[in-house]
């Protein structure tokens, strides 16, 4: 049993987190372990899943927990807003982006690009573990 798993179970035992929170965190750990195992044993590309949400979980060493579930539809809707930016404002935004070193044209974002971005988010996983035991996990799921 790894340290993270032990820590989650001990926090559950101490009543610091609820059973459902522990389950969510263990699921996230399990998912991470599975994907690491898959990456190590097989070169077959993963089948795209029907992902619906982005999860952000923070488990601090001081027992402050943050659990956020963001519907991916919100990202879609937000990205669609770029098409509503008037061309004059778009030029200003693009030139500001260029000044900051991002040669990127917001006007070129097409709905299919957004879909592809969201589809590829399924493979995204961020796992951060700090020295003092804070854990941050960002992943997408159903």
Partner 1 sequence: MVPSIMNLRIEDGNKFRLRLWLPLFLVWPVVLVLFLILLPFLVVAEVVLRLTNVQIYLFRLLGGVFSLLSALRGLTVRVKSVRSSSIVDVVIR
C-alpha 47, offset from chain centre: 18
> Contact at 8 Å (CB) between 91 and 106?
no
- Going from the C-alpha of 11 to that of each of 56, 57, 93, 137, the distances in angstroms are 19, 15, 47, 17
Applying CB under 8 A, the span of 32-40, 58-66, 113-121, 124-132 interacting with partner 1 comes to: 58-66
Minimum Å gap between C-beta 7 and partner 1 is: 14
**Chosen residue from 31, 32, 53, 109 binding partner 1 by CB under 8 A:** 53
Q: Dihedral (C-alpha) 89, 98, 120, 116: value to the nearest 10 degrees?
A: 50
Instruction: Please tell me whether residue 126 binds partner 1 under the rule CB under 8 A.
Output: no
Nearer to partner 1, 84 or 126 (CB): 84
Instruction: Please tell me whether residue 3 binds partner 1 under the rule CB under 8 A.
Output: no
Q: Which helix (H) or strand (E) holds 6?
A: helix 3-13
Instruction: Please tell me whether residue 63 binds partner 1 under the rule CB under 8 A.
Output: yes
The CA distance from 123 to 107, in Å, is 26
Q: Which of residues 72-91 bind partner 1 (CB under 8 A)?
A: 73-74, 76-78, 80-81, 83-84, 86-88
Instruction: Please tell me whether residue 64 binds partner 1 under the rule CB under 8 A.
Output: yes
**Per-residue DSSP letter, 106:** G
Instruction: Please tell me whether residue 119 binds partner 1 under the rule CB under 8 A.
Output: no
The residues binding partner 1 (CB under 8 A) are 16-17, 21, 52-53, 62-71, 73-74, 76-78, 80-81, 83-84, 86-88
């Amino acid at each position: 049993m790894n340290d993270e798993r032990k820590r989650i179970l001990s926090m559950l035992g101490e009543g610091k987190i609820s059973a459902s929170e522990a389950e969510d965190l263990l699921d996230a750990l399990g998912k991470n372990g599975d994907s690491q195992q898959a990456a190590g044993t097989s070169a077959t590309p993963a089948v795209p899943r029907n992902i619906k949400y982005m999860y952000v979980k923070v488990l601090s060493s001081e027992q402050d927990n943050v659990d956020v579930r963001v519907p991916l539809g919100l990202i879609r809707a937000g990205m669609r807003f770029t098409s509503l930016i008037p061309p004059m404002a778009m030029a200003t935004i693009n030139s500001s982006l260029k000044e900051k070193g991002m040669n990127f044209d917001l006007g070129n974002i097409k709905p299919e690009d957004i879909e592809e971005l969201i589809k590829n988010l399924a493979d995204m996983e961020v796992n951060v573990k700090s020295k003092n035991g804070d854990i941050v996990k960002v992943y997408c799921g159903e």
